Structure 1
Amino acid sequence: MGMEIGGGDQKAVPERKQASYQSLDDRFVIKYERYKGQQYSQIYFMRLQCMRSIIHALIPKWKPHVPVCSVLDLEQGKECIVTGTIFKHMKLKPKILDEYSKERSVVPLVKPHNFVHLDDNLIMEDESGRVKLAGSVLVPSTFVTGIVMAVHGKETTDGSFLVQDVLIPDLPPQIQCPVLSEDKYVIFMSGLAVEQSSFNPLQFQLLIDHITGHLGDYKEQTMASKIVRLVIAGNSVEVPKGLLTNQVVGPKEQSKVFDPFKELDISLTQLAASVPVDIMPGANDPANFSLPQQPLNRCLFPGASLYNTFTSCTNPHMFDLGGVRFLGTSGQNVDDLDKYSFAEDRLEFLERTLRWRHVAPTAPNTLGCYPFTDRDPFLIEQCPHVYFCGNQDKYQSQIIEGAEGQRVRLICIPRFCDSGTAVMLNIRNLECHAICLSTDMGIER
């Protein structure tokens, strides 16, 4: 980080703090050789099997005297508990035939942002069958297809199940948060969108100079030295639309495709020379579309890849840093929930996925995912201490708590190209704040 000279005396810049790091992304790595054209029924089956065992362990405390039965064993008027996967029947949900008719139609069809309708209804399904859920206890706009939960109620004369109460898995068990004696910080950013019209290179360079300790006085450099990791949560480049529609890409088009990566690599090389960097793929990055997205190829970053501090990660991304468990995505899971359900804000969507114990409950129904046959990698088995999602409209953060003392910091990371904002988290106490960079000068906290 160099030296600072002030008042004629040479003053050594503080050394970069370090924190132990362990990647837990193995669960999200796809073994492509195992793909044999399998369908998605198996991932739903594995999800139901795993989640049902968790829920059944909670039922004795919830409703100890109510019998548990399958959909097939329901009897009219008999109170019982049924556990299964929710399917949400939605009137406005897009269909492939609608896409076809839109192409053939002279009048363009308006595509709504959200597909929730008052006539939506929920259906519960297990291996034996399915039954429509009724009653005012369940609000369809809160739930999505793919959640596993238990419902208490009884079958009515019309064959539906009148729900009296609901049990969701809630927050999973959490490892104890370590006691740290000193401040150590993680920087989160997302949506760099290098080469997009709204991308401000000077703004990004200011952040780089702040992180690497080349900006500010000795006090600012001391603060920067406590940054132990940078996590970039997706959508780092913006390839001009229309270039990759043809099979053959000419030399001029190739240059336009690779220019954003060259510029990004220069910046990442500066960062990796000073601080460990994790980069996750996003919806707009050159990675597989379906979740879990595999790490961006290191050949895209010839400069940064020379450093062992540079890590190309999966999306979702899970890791331990200084004993603190992190879990996060580049935002596709929350964006999809926003299309098929309602919430007060994006933090509520984050909290719901944690309490449902599933990172991406709408996958594979409306969110693309790989057809795993032996497991569902999106199940949340251990509660993270920090749960984040990238590429959101604005910065939001809060701490939620569970019944067994779990404590989780939720973070919505704003798109940097739009906001010029990164997020700074202290792993010692999980305190969090935004860093707003202005090209006028200086850093606002």
Structure 2
Amino acid sequence: MEVDSENGLLQRKQATYQSLDETFLIAKETYKGQQYSQIYFARLHLMRTMLYSLLPTWKPHLPSCNVLGLEQGKECVIVGTLYKHMKLKPSVLDEYSKERSASPLVQPRNFLHSDDYLVLEDESGRVKLRGALLLPSVYVTGIVVALHGKETGAGDFEVEDLLEAGLPHQIDRPLNSGEDKFVVFVSGLSVGSTSANPLQFQLFVDHITGHLGDEKEQGMAAQIVQVVIAGNSVEIGRGLLNGQNLGPKDQSKLSEPIKELDILMSQIAAGIPVDIMPGEADPANFALPQQPLHRCLFPGSAAFNTFRSCTNPHSFELDDVRFLGTSGQNIDDLAKYSDATCKLEFLERTLRWRHIAPTAPNTLGCYPFTDRDPFFIEMCPHVYFIGNQEKFDTSVIKGSDGQVVRLVCIPKFAETGTAVMLNLRNLECHALTFGSQFDS
């Protein structure tokens, strides 16, 4: 794309793009009544093999055994999947219980309780865990860990030390080239909702496409090489989706937000490569991994080869910088069943556990894979992002083998008017805020 300026033409910069979403596609999967236990077995087998490879440098003097092989008072290492017994965890059976009317009308946003406890499980059995090292408030069901300890007289396992998977291997980031290239993240557009301000999004579109601002701002816009829309792009009135046949007027209300989104997306795709991910509120499958939004929803945008409809989670490389992110469901679910000081801490935990969505399929819907777990993080990203958060937040974490990861929380645009701009050169990022008057 070229942007007119007083001194001539500004040429938009380009970046090499590679999609890594293949692992999240379920096009070749067939549902044959399989149970969710198989994805847990696949996760345990994969993670246990990796954890066993770390044992010689962690506890070389201790034997490893399974739950059934525990002996009272004998120190050993066991590897298994954590299960958290939660007193307040919602159950679908409660909806049909006779005491339903006695349940509180206001449900808690977090289901932690002081009586919660952890259990370790493998193919041979399960054992209750004790000790101050393993805090139930930090962990959730579905995490695979290695534990050093011994069985007590009460039949519990006293934990003395803990080994998590840690950050995976990371490919070297390209050397600092001195050339600024930017990726813009936005989420929670909620086109069609009462809270969405069409002017804000149009200001955003005009800014990144170079149709606003002075020569300096247009020069900055010309350095944007990629736009990522991280879920919840439209909001359809729930009253319309009541299982009844829709009349012509209601059908128009149903399609209007998508048509409006397509018009705005076309403006972006005409000049900048754009990836759109599905979210919880979008017309896509509910269970993770969410499949790409169908291209027929975007007749205008899909005509451009710069438009890509992607999965959620979404992984890709730009100039050999690896990105991984979701529309936020995985972290929002973690926040319901564990505790942290901020959402960035949840992001860091999932990286150190090497799993994007450890609560799936226990409390987060996912497809019942039989022979693999697509949420396992095999390679460490350079940028790890989540969409649809309350506010913009970012930090950098470092691994023991020199890994450096930029964590980014992308706020809901409809509520905050804020997008996020990240520099590929040094992974620094900042917020772009749009109001009734342009502000960045």
TM-score (norm 2): 0.98
The one-letter amino acid paired with 1:160 is: D
Matches within 5 A, 1:197-216: 197-216=194-213
Q: Is the 8 A contact 2:418 2:434 kept in 1?
A: yes
Q: CA deviation at 1:100?
A: 2.3
Local SS of the residue matching 1:34: coil
The one-letter amino acid paired with 1:121 is: Y
Q: 1:61 corresponds to which residue?
A: 57
The one-letter amino acid paired with 1:174 is: Q
Q: CA deviation at 1:103?
A: 9.4
Aligned mates of 2:242, 2:154 — CA distance in 1:
52
Q: CA deviation at 1:287?
A: 0.4
Q: 2:21 corresponds to which residue?
A: 25
Structure 1 residue corresponding to 2:349, chosen from 336, 348, 352 = 352
Q: CA deviation at 1:250?
A: 1.5
Q: 2:367 corresponds to which residue?
A: 370
Q: Deviations over 1:12-68 (max 9, x none)?
A: 231110000000001000035522111111110110011011111111111110111
The one-letter amino acid paired with 1:207 is: F
Q: Is the 8 A contact 1:13 1:218 kept in 2?
A: no
Q: CA deviation at 1:377?
A: 0.3
Are residue 166 (structure 1) and residue 162 (structure 2) matched? yes
Q: 1:308 corresponds to which residue?
A: 305
1:107–1:57 distance in 2 versus 1, CA, 3 Å? closer
Q: 2:85 corresponds to which residue?
A: 89
Matches within 5 A, 1:79-158: 79-101=75-97, 105=101, 109-158=105-154
Matches within 5 A, 1:186-225: 186-225=183-222
Q: Is the 8 A contact 1:102 1:109 kept in 2?
A: no
Structure 2 residue corresponding to 1:43, chosen from 39, 42, 57 = 39
The one-letter amino acid paired with 1:95 is: S
Local SS of the residue matching 1:81: strand
Q: CA deviation at 1:361?
A: 0.2
The one-letter amino acid paired with 2:163 is: L
The one-letter amino acid paired with 1:233 is: A
Aligned mates of 1:32, 1:247 — CA distance in 2:
32
Aligned mates of 1:112, 1:213 — CA distance in 2:
45
Q: 1:317 corresponds to which residue?
A: 314
Local SS of the residue matching 1:140: coil
The one-letter amino acid paired with 2:215 is: Y
Q: CA deviation at 1:443?
A: 2.4
Aligned mates of 1:4, 1:105 — CA distance in 2:
66
Q: Is the 8 A contact 2:406 2:427 kept in 1?
A: yes
Q: What stretches of structure 2 of length at least 5 have no aligned partner?
A: none
Task: Name which of structure 1's ranges 34-43 and 233-242 shifts more when overlaid on structure 2.
Answer: 34-43
1:87–1:218 distance in 2 versus 1, CA, 3 Å? same
Aligned mates of 2:29, 2:172 — CA distance in 1:
37
1:345–1:205 distance in 2 versus 1, CA, 3 Å? same
Aligned mates of 2:284, 2:223 — CA distance in 1:
32
Are residue 290 (structure 1) and residue 283 (structure 2) matched? no
Q: Deviations over 1:150-206 (max 9, x none)?
A: 110000001000000110001000000012331100000000000111101111111
Q: What stretches of structure 1 of length at least 5 have no aligned partner?
A: none
Are residue 338 (structure 1) and residue 338 (structure 2) matched? no
Q: CA deviation at 1:247?
A: 3.6
Task: Name which of structure 1's ranges 293-302 and 98-107 shifts more when overlaid on structure 2.
Answer: 98-107
Q: Is the 8 A contact 2:3 2:11 kept in 1?
A: no
Q: 1:255 corresponds to which residue?
A: 252
Q: Is the 8 A contact 2:2 2:10 kept in 1?
A: no
Structure 2 residue corresponding to 1:75, chosen from 42, 56, 71 = 71
Aligned mates of 1:344, 1:166 — CA distance in 2:
21
The one-letter amino acid paired with 1:290 is: A
Q: 1:228 corresponds to which residue?
A: 225
1:262–1:348 distance in 2 versus 1, CA, 3 Å? same
Q: Is the 8 A contact 1:190 1:234 kept in 2?
A: yes
The one-letter amino acid paired with 2:46 is: C
1:103–1:78 distance in 2 versus 1, CA, 3 Å? closer
Local SS of the residue matching 1:219: helix
Aligned mates of 1:213, 1:31 — CA distance in 2:
38
Q: Is the 8 A contact 2:142 2:362 kept in 1?
A: yes
Local SS of the residue matching 2:323: strand
Are residue 435 (structure 1) and residue 399 (structure 2) matched? no
**Quick one: percent identity of the two aligned structures?**
65
The root-mean-square deviation of aligned C-alpha atoms, in Å, is: 1.3
The one-letter amino acid paired with 2:335 is: D
Q: CA deviation at 1:242?
A: 1.1
Q: Is the 8 A contact 1:13 1:221 kept in 2?
A: no
Aligned mates of 1:13, 1:149 — CA distance in 2:
56
1:104–1:145 distance in 2 versus 1, CA, 3 Å? closer
Aligned mates of 2:191, 2:102 — CA distance in 1:
37
Q: How many pairs does the alignment contain?
A: 439
Task: Name which of structure 1's ranges 303-312 and 51-60 shifts more when overlaid on structure 2.
Answer: 51-60
